[in-house]
Every structure is written in structure tokens, then in C-alpha cells.
């Protein structure tokens, strides 16, 4: 049981390049999330999904896109990378139900630097 798997762990991009951060979970969780974490700023929600085929914008969606074609996968695409997107990105998932709701399982994180 791998939990939430994110790749890559580290990446350096040049301004204007594009890339996709991959996220997969094997817990059959219906909810998935992408956060970014900047020093001293906590976790900011980029996009989230309540199930396959459904995605919604979070607080900081500009410059990103997502898709959710399967329950397991929730990739995050960065188009035209900018230095402001330098951050640590976390994918997370959770299940619905009173006992499990809101308890996120996080991936290990992806450190992205845009130069």
C-alpha cells in the first residue's frame, strides 16, 4: 500500500517551460488536492477534486491546470513556468465519511524551482 505517490521529487525549470507533476493514490479516495507551500505561508490550495471527472479551483489556481480522468490519478500541469511558481507542491487525498473526512494523506512533496 503506497498511499500517495508524487513525482518528481525535485525539478528545476526555466521560465516559460511547462511540466506536469504526477500524483497517484491507491487508497480509493474520492477526494484529491494540490497544495503549494511557501516558507512561512502555510498550505495554499491550488485545485481539488471530489471525484473522477470533477475539478474545482482553489485559492491560487492561476498558472496551473488539473485533470481527473481516474479515481487514482490527479496530475498538476504548470504552463509557462514563472519564478513565482517556485515552491514545494503537495498532493493529498481523503475519503468522505464522518470518521475520515478532512483527514488528508499527503504525498512526499515536489520541490520546484523556476529560474
Partner 1 sequence: EDKVVQSPLSLVVHEGDTVTLNCSYEVTNFRSLLWYKQEKKAPTFLFMLTSSGIEKKSGRLSSILDKKELFSILNITATQTGDSAIYLCAVGRRNYGGSQGNLIFGKGTKLSVKP
Considering only residues 36 to 55 of the shown chain, the ones binding partner 1 according to CB under 8 A are: 40-43, 45, 48, 50
Considering only residues 81 to 100 of the shown chain, the ones binding partner 1 according to CB under 8 A are: 90
Of 31 and 78, the one with the shorter C-beta distance to partner 1 is 31
Considering only residues 1 to 30 of the shown chain, the ones binding partner 1 according to CB under 8 A are: none
* Distance separating alpha carbons of residues 24 and 114, to the nearest angstrom: 24
Size of the site for partner 1 (CB under 8 A): 24
Judged by CB under 8 A, which of 58, 63, 67, 86 binds partner 1? 58
- Beta bridge mates, 66: 76
DSSP 48-68: EEEETTEEEE-S--TTEEE--
- Beta bridge mates, 33: 48, 92
* Distance separating alpha carbons of residues 77 and 23, to the nearest angstrom: 11
The residues binding partner 1 (CB under 8 A) are: 31, 33, 40-43, 45, 48, 50, 56-59, 61, 90, 101-109
Amino acid at each position: 500500500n503506497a498511499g500517495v505517490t508524487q513525482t518528481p521529487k525535485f525539478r528545476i525549470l526555466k521560465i516559460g517551460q511547462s511540466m506536469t507533476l504526477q500524483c497517484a493514490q491507491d487508497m480509493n479516495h474520492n477526494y484529491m488536492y494540490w497544495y503549494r507551500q511557501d516558507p512561512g505561508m502555510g498550505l495554499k490550495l491550488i485545485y481539488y477534486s471530489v471525484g473522477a471527472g470533477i475539478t474545482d479551483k482553489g485559492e491560487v489556481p492561476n498558472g496551473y491546470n488539473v485533470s481527473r480522468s481516474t479515481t487514482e490519478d490527479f496530475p498538476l500541469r504548470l504552463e509557462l513556468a514563472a519564478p513565482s511558481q517556485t515552491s514545494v507542491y503537495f498532493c493529498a487525498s481523503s475519503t468522505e465519511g464522518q470518521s475520515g473526512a478532512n483527514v488528508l494523506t499527503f504525498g512526499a512533496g515536489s520541490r520546484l524551482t523556476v529560474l
